[in-house]
């Protein structure tokens, strides 16, 4: 097993048990930390730091960034439908796709627009 160095922002933080917030929040004498910092600390302790060593190793970071139980293709398809289905009928017409062409060209679901040029209907 190879252990890659973890970015310093993931190792150090303003409070113990929540190392990755160091880039976004500095306590600077503030007695009351924001709610999002508390939530991030809880998320880190409960879900991200699997081996409880106070830092994120390569596998923990990978599981956080690319969770195995998340279907990226389905999420992207839902996003495209939500943003492009102008009449909210649950289907995309040629007109709706053309209207939101820029969204489809920037999507992995269409291979960044390549799939659109391979179909005559578009």
DSSP readout, 43-112? HIIIII-TT-SSS--HHHHHHHHS-TT--HHHHHHHHHHHHH-TT-SSS--HHHHHHTHHHHHT-GGGTT
**102 and 76 inside one domain:** yes
**57 and 79 inside one domain:** no
Range of the domain at 44: 37-65
Is 120 a member of any domain? no
Is 3 a member of any domain? no
Domain total in the chain: 2
Is 100 a member of any domain? yes
pLDDT digits (tens, 9 = 90+) for 60-86: 988 888 888 888 788 888 988 999 999
Position 13 confidence tier, pLDDT thresholds 50, 70, 90: very low
Is 82 a member of any domain? yes
pLDDT at 108 over 80: no
Sequence-separated contacts (24+) of 2-8 with Cβ below 8 Å: 2/58, 3/57, 3/58, 4/58, 6/55, 6/56, 6/57, 6/58, 6/61
């Amino acid at each position: 097993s190879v252990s890659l160095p973890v970015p310093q922002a993931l190792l150090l933080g303003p409070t113990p048990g929540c190392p990755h917030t160091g880039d976004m929040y500095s306590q600077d004498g503030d007695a009351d930390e924001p709610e999002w910092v508390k939530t991030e600390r809880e998320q880190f302790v409960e879900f991200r730091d699997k081996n409880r060593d106070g830092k994120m190793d390569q596998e923990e970071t990978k599981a956080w960034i690319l969770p195995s139980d998340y279907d990226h293709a389905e999420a992207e398809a839902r996003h495209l439908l939500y943003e492009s289905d102008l009449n909210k009928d649950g289907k995309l017409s040629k007109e709706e796709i053309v209207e939101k062409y820029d969204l489809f060209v920037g999507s992995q679901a269409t291979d960044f627009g390549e799939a659109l040029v391979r179909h005559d209907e578009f």
